[in-house]
Amino acid sequence: MLYVLIIAMLSSANSFAAISLTGSARAISGTTIELGGKRISLYGVDSPDVRQYCKLDDGKPYPCGRLAAESLIRIIGAKTVTCQLSKEEPITDGRCFVDGKDIAITMIESGYAMVSNKNLDYNPVLNDYRHHMSEAKSKGIGLWQGTFIDPSIWRLNTKIAKPAGG
CATH code for the domain defined by 2-145: 2.40.50.90
Residue type for position 52: Q
Residue ranges of the chain whose pLDDT lies below 50: 1-13, 166
Q: How far is C-alpha 158 from the chain's CA centre?
A: 19
Domain positions in the chain: 2-145
Q: How many CB atoms sit inside 10 A of residue 147's CB?
A: 11
Read off the pLDDT of residues 101-145 as tens digits, 9 standing for 90 and up.
999 999 999 999 999 877 666 788 899 999 999 999 999 999 999
- E strands present in 19-90: 19-23, 25-27, 32-35, 38-42, 45-46, 54-56, 61-62, 81-85
Please tell me the predicted confidence (pLDDT) of residue 71. 97
pTM of the model: 0.83
